[in-house]
């Protein structure tokens, strides 16, 4: 399916899903329409998993690299209410601690990183992220670190992370990208191949229930 057709199809599917899902008070106007299109493009892949690879990591890691030699898989798993929230576990080898949580807000999107231990308990550094920088596009959304996350990073003496901006990109049926950048030149990108679904990974830590439809 061509990208434009895929987005249109995804938006139509999301509209149908909204009829049977819980309602949320969200300002769906022209200014925030790219957020809806972005969510719909990801929701079109609900229930599927895709393998990825690190395509950029600048500056190069000098110590232990948790991504080196690991199988990287994203799973569009949490789709009970796709117009409001999507949960996307990011598996790094046998590490199932990471889940990206995308939520539709009144003014756009919110990205949070849910980090858990193997027993399901929250990591000390979790639920960090930020709100999208408007207006964004149907293909790319950026999320500068919000005040809550900055305060968390400062308490943990992770001062470099206070300048984080995360981004996500999607080219329907082709690729999905997760990105982290900082002003001093830090740039990290993982790209997933959306044209080739892979076997579903196990549930992320802390979420052992069956994936929502």
Summarize the confidence of residues 191-207 as an average pLDDT: 97
Residue 189 pairs with which residues in a beta bridge?
Answer: 56, 179
pTM of the full predicted structure? 0.84
DSSP H helical ranges for 80-212 = 147-155
Q: What percent of the chain has pLDDT over 90?
A: 78
Name the residue among 9, 100, 89 with its Cα closest to residue 49.
89
pLDDT the model gives residue 135: 83
Contact predicate 175/74, CB 8 Å: no
Q: What is the mean pLDDT of the chain?
A: 88
- The token pair that represents 133 in the structure block: 């920088």
**How buried is 192 (Cβ within 10 angstroms: 0-12 exposed, 13-18 middle, 19+ buried)?**
buried
Summarize the confidence of residues 22-36 as an average pLDDT: 64
Residue 111 pairs with which residues in a beta bridge?
Answer: 102, 130
Which residue's entry shows tokens 């990287």? 72
Q: What is the CA radius of gyration of the chain?
A: 17
The ranges assigned to domains in the chain are 3-198
- The token pair that represents 111 in the structure block: 């990205």
CATH architecture observed for domain 3-198: Beta Barrel (2.40)
pLDDT the model gives residue 209: 56
Residue 12 in this model has a pLDDT that exceeds 80: no
pLDDT tens figures, 77-135: 999 999 999 999 999 999 999 999 999 999 999 999 999 999 999 999 999 999 999 88
Name the residue among 56, 77, 82, 105 with its Cα closest to residue 201.
77
């Amino acid at each position: 399916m061509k990208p434009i057709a895929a987005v249109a199809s995804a938006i139509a599917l999301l509209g149908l899903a909204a009829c049977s899902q819980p309602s949320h008070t969200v300002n769906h106007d022209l200014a925030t329409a790219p957020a809806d299109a972005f969510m719909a493009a990801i929701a079109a892949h609900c229930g599927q998993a895709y393998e990825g690879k690190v395509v950029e990591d600048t500056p190069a890691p000098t110590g232990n690299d948790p991504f080196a030699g690991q199988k990287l898989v994203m799973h569009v798993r949490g789709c009970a209410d796709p117009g409001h929230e999507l949960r996307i576990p990011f598996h790094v080898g046998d590490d199932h601690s990471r889940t990206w949580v995308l939520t539709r807000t009144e003014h756009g999107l919110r990205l949070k990183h849910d980090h858990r231990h193997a027993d399901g308990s929250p990591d000390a550094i979790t639920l960090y992220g930020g709100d999208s920088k408007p207006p964004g596009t149907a293909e790319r959304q950026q999320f500068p670190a919000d005040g809550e996350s900055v305060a968390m990073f400062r308490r943990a003496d992770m001062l470099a992370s206070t300048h984080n901006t995360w981004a996500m990109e999607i080219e329907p049926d082709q690729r999905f990208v997760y990105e982290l950048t900082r002003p001093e030149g830090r740039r990290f990108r993982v790209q997933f191949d959306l044209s080739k679904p892979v076997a579903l990974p196990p549930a992320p830590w802390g979420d052992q229930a069956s994936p929502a439809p």
